[in-house]
Amino acid sequence: MTRAKPEDDDWNSSKIHAFTFDDDDDEFTKLKESKRAVSSILVDDDDDDDDDDDDDVEKVSWSGEPVGSISWSVKETASSIRSGGEHGFPKINTAPSLPKQGSGYSLSSLFKASTRVYAPELRKPKSECKVNSPCSDIILLSMDKLLLLDEAVSAHDGNVITAVLIYLKKSLSKEIFFQELMVREIALRHYVHYLKEMEEQKTLVELMKLPFSQDDAIHVQDHYTLLERQIIIEATDKKGEAEIFKKFPRKASILNMPIITTLYYSCFYHYGESEGTFSSPANIRSTFRISEKQYILTALGARAKLKSWFDVDSLFNTKNWLGYTKKRSPIGFHRVVDILQKNNAPVQVLKDYVSLIDDAELKLSLAQKYKCHDIVIEMYRDLKDRQQLIVYQGKVERGSHEDRKIDQLLGNMQIRWKN
């Protein structure tokens, strides 16, 4: 199972270790994610060569356990508690991965500014190892982590703060973590808020204890990822600073909502954000592997609600092989019309989509239902059905543009009417 963004791996993979502190060899350890976690543990922020290609090499720690296995992670935790750091820090590459929010800060840039990293590149030759100290464990000193937290707080970036807190919670010992939080008021506030929302984690832990098949394990993991994302989004959106929140205030928190609901929310409040942000529809779509059909349906609903007809239009534009833009929909256009109509789309908008319906009968009945006169008239003309056209003339306003159009057609000698 591949993930689109290596950063996502980092956040997810380090969590996996956290949940498997007993020695039962449960399904999780077999997940590829563990392997990926291992490969991404190698951090080197000063040079830009990313360690993307390490999957094929089995890495072994000094004690002989394969890196990434449970026993290894247990040992790492035990040893690192004394030294104040833990086994792995997620790999950061220079591409910013967190929502920008106009702050220009990303974890990696924070990192560059503030930390020293000790990374045992077990695979690469020692000469490339940038560390001075003996390559024993992967350590990020606790003081560096706290520096990170301080930087995040001073950036006033809720997302970043929460993100750092999540990491710190997993990687610092409880005592140190709480101790440091006590003296950092803002961070503490964020953390309390985070805890409240995280009540659901208990269920998740239970879920993870059950024997799941491979596919189910993926679903459980998705659940976890979703919750995490929701917390981050919730933390920022709660303040409701952007215009859209003022115009359409949120009715409820996004936490614990299903993925499709979350996507709808994202299409509503965060449409157009780049794929790099956690709250963007594009990011959610790719992270959770949402089908095109589902995506379009959801986005359509959200944009239609906001009456952004232009956005709705672009959903269906594709370029065909000649480079011409064409309209295409994985759901029938009649469905599109239905949804638009439910959101009170004006006739001008509706008629564009009614005209795209393939099935003639359906097209005709919907055109009549929604009073797309032009389409009805054209269809009757194509069917050469004079009687129906006359009947329909009775339904349009006298003297209107449609009325005259029908007159014109009826008077047209060249059309060979069938009745």
For other proteins, the binding residues (CB under 8 A) are: 203, 207, 210, 215-216, 219-220, 222-223, 226, 256-260, 288, 290, 294, 297
Least Å from the CB of residue 379 to other proteins:
25
Least Å from the CB of residue 317 to other proteins:
22
Least Å from the CB of residue 228 to other proteins:
13
Least Å from the CB of residue 331 to other proteins:
8
CB-nearer residue toward other proteins: 14 or 298 = 298
Least Å from the CB of residue 289 to other proteins:
9
CB-nearer residue toward other proteins: 179 or 203 = 203
**Tokens 């099935």 sit on residue:** 359
Show the 3-state SS of 7-68. HHHHHHHHHHHHHCCCCCCCHHHHCHHHHHHHHHHCCCCCCCCCCCCCCCCCCECCCCCECC
Query: Rounded to an integer, what distance in angstroms lies between the CA atom of residue 85 and that of residue 92?
Result: 17
Helices vs strands, H then E, count in the chain: 22, 2
CB-nearer residue toward other proteins: 105 or 278 = 278
CB-nearer residue toward other proteins: 40 or 221 = 221
Query: Rounded to an integer, what distance in angstroms lies between the CA atom of residue 358 and that of residue 360?
Result: 6
Residues 6+ apart with CB under 8 A from 148: 107, 110, 111, 114, 115, 164, 168
How far lies 93's CA from each of 67, 96, 164, 272, in Å?
21, 8, 16, 24
CB-nearer residue toward other proteins: 70 or 297 = 297
CB-nearer residue toward other proteins: 288 or 417 = 288
Least Å from the CB of residue 259 to other proteins:
5
CB-nearer residue toward other proteins: 125 or 211 = 211
Name the DSSP letter for residue 407. Answer: H
Amino acid at 151: E
Least Å from the CB of residue 351 to other proteins:
24
Hey, how many other C-beta atoms are within 10 angstroms of the C-beta on 342? 11
111 touches 94 (CB < 8 A): no
Q: The tokens of 63 are what?
A: 């004690």
